[in-house]
Amino acid sequence: MDSPGSHPPGTGGQSPVALPVRETSESTSPEGTWRFTAPAQDSAVPQLRHAVRDLVRRRGVVPEDTLGNLLLILSELATNALQHAALLSSEIGVEVSLQRGWLRVAVEDGHPYRPKALDAEPEHELLHGRGLLLVKTVTQEAGGLCDVEQTGTGGKVIWAALPLPRRPASGLTSPLNRL
């Protein structure tokens, strides 16, 4: 992902805008990569969630349960960026990619702290601190991957990739689809 500020920032109150980073040359292909930016404000989380939902639905290849998981992951990661990195990041960067059977979302901020998913301890009823554990669990249960990477500008990118189910060839239905 590019450094924060390398794309036009969102303005307060306006919805994030999808900036195509890379799309396939085939116009009928759903694959591509899109970047959203939003100001580091509380209103950014629902704005980003709605913008990503609309984008992914327009692509027409992501089942609703996978989209639901993606939006949950996005909400948790964007909320974490707001809560823990807003002092060092004036905006949040989100990148969505549909490539080779995978749906990936990445959230970038300017804070250098590399978070770790906290272990759930039933005897301690914490009100905060379980978002990354939730992201990790949802991602793993879907057969996906997630990680944290440092950016060249000293911030971080937290990403999760979810596999997409294989689609049968056009006109053919799998016997498994009839079960």
Indicate whether 8 belongs to any domain.
Answer: no
Indicate whether 108 belongs to any domain.
Answer: yes
Structural domain range at position 143: 41-165
Is pLDDT larger for residue 14 or for residue 109? Answer: 109
Domain count of the fold of the chain = 1
Confidence of residue 111 (pLDDT cuts 50, 70, 90): confident
Alpha carbon distances (Å) from 106 to 27, 99, 153, 162, 171: 24, 14, 16, 12, 34
Indicate whether 58 belongs to any domain.
Answer: yes
Indicate whether 172 belongs to any domain.
Answer: no
How many whole angstroms separate alpha carbon 26 and alpha carbon 32?
A: 10
pLDDT tens readout for residues 128-166? 667 888 999 999 999 999 999 998 888 899 999 999 988
Indicate the pTM of the whole model.
Answer: 0.75
Alpha carbon distances (Å) from 114 to 82, 95, 144: 15, 19, 20
Q: What is the pLDDT of residue 141?
A: 96
User: What CATH number is given to the structural domain containing 55?
Assistant: 3.30.565.10
**Close Cβ partners of 54 (under 8 Å, ≥ 6 residues apart):** none
